[in-house]
Amino acid sequence: MRLMRSSAPAISRNATIGRGKRMGLGTPDRPDHRAVAQPRRQQPTPVRERAEPVKLRCVGLSPRMVSLVDLENGECRYPYGGDKEGEAILFCGHPRLAGSSYCKPHFHLTRDSGCYPERAAGPVALRLVDAA
């Protein structure tokens, strides 16, 4: 038995539906969505008020800028740097406040007056691995 190919061009389902709609052969149970649609109304552009510049909080403390590897157990872990591509992240390095990871000025900088106290910092075990 030999199969014969049809000489009619292959037409997709969407092409057939589109041609049927252009010929007015829409389904009677579905109304034309263009007849129901309301014209869009242009919304006025809101006027933006100038925002007040943000006042940054800072501490009167010059950090020691200690790398993570050189950071000792009782030193402040407040980070500096790392904002730009390839910039190293260094840490404050001043003596920590008891029960905190930060020195007293950085502890108060990172907390609002109505916040809960920071949980006690536990021991951290660092493991150095060889890079392959």
**10-58 pLDDT, tens digit each:** 788 888 888 888 888 866 566 565 555 566 777 777 777 887 877 767 7
Beta-bridge mates of residue 95: 75
Eight-state DSSP code of residue 30 = S
Tokens of 15: 């092409």
CA atoms 70, 72, 76, 79: torsion sign: positive
Asked if 20 contacts 26 with a C-beta cutoff of 8 angstroms, the reply is yes
**Which residue matches tokens 């108060």?**
108
pLDDT digits (tens, 9 = 90+) for 74-131: 999 999 988 888 889 999 999 999 989 999 999 988 886 555 555 555 676 777 777 7
d(CA 17, CA 29) in angstroms, rounded, equals 16
**pTM value?**
0.45
